[in-house]
Structure 1
Amino acid sequence: MKIAILGSGCPNCIRLEENARKALQITGKQAEIEKVTDIDKIMEYGVMRTPALVINGEVKSFGRVLTPEQIAEIFQAY
């Protein structure tokens, strides 16, 4: 599984990354986490509000910080 956290590096972006890492611990899943801060690359995903969570190239959430439990629920499909 490949996870991308889209955002400028703001506190919410950092929190989303931390929550994604916690969700990996909760589920026991393995993933590569990439931080995408380049605005052009973020816009390629069609995201207009950050932070955003992308899994395997598919935008799962944007404009809010999901909890570790919410992210773990999304991970169950992978």
Structure 2
Amino acid sequence: MIIKILGSGCKKCVTLSENTLQALSNLGLQAEVLKVTDFAEIAAYGVMSTPALAIDEQVVSVGKVLTAGEIATFLQAR
């Protein structure tokens, strides 16, 4: 599983990344977590508001800092 945090590296993006790692830990899952900061690459996903979260190349959240519990819900659906 590849998870991408799409954003500029702002505080919200950092928090989303931390919550993602916490959700993975809580579920006992392993995944590659990548931070994408290039705006051209972010725009290629159709994202115009950050932070955004993509799981296996599918954007699941845009413009919101998800909690670890909310992220876990998306992970369990995989």
In angstroms, what is the RMSD of aligned CA positions? 0.4
Percentage of matched positions with identical amino acids: 54
Aligned-residue offset at 1:77: 1.4
Q: How many residues in Structure 1 have an aligned counterpart in Structure 2?
A: 78
Query: Which ranges of 4 or more aligned residues in structure 1 deviate by more than 2 Å?
Result: none
**Separation in 2 of the partners of 1:27 and 1:74?**
11
> What is residue 5 of structure 2 aligned with on the other side?
5
**Separation in 2 of the partners of 1:61 and 1:73?**
12
**Unaligned stretches of 5+ residues in structure 2:** none
Please give the TM-score of this superposition, normalised by the length of structure 1.
Answer: 0.98
**Separation in 1 of the partners of 2:68 and 2:9?**
19
> Does residue 74 of structure 1 match 2:74?
yes
Aligned-residue offset at 1:64: 0.6
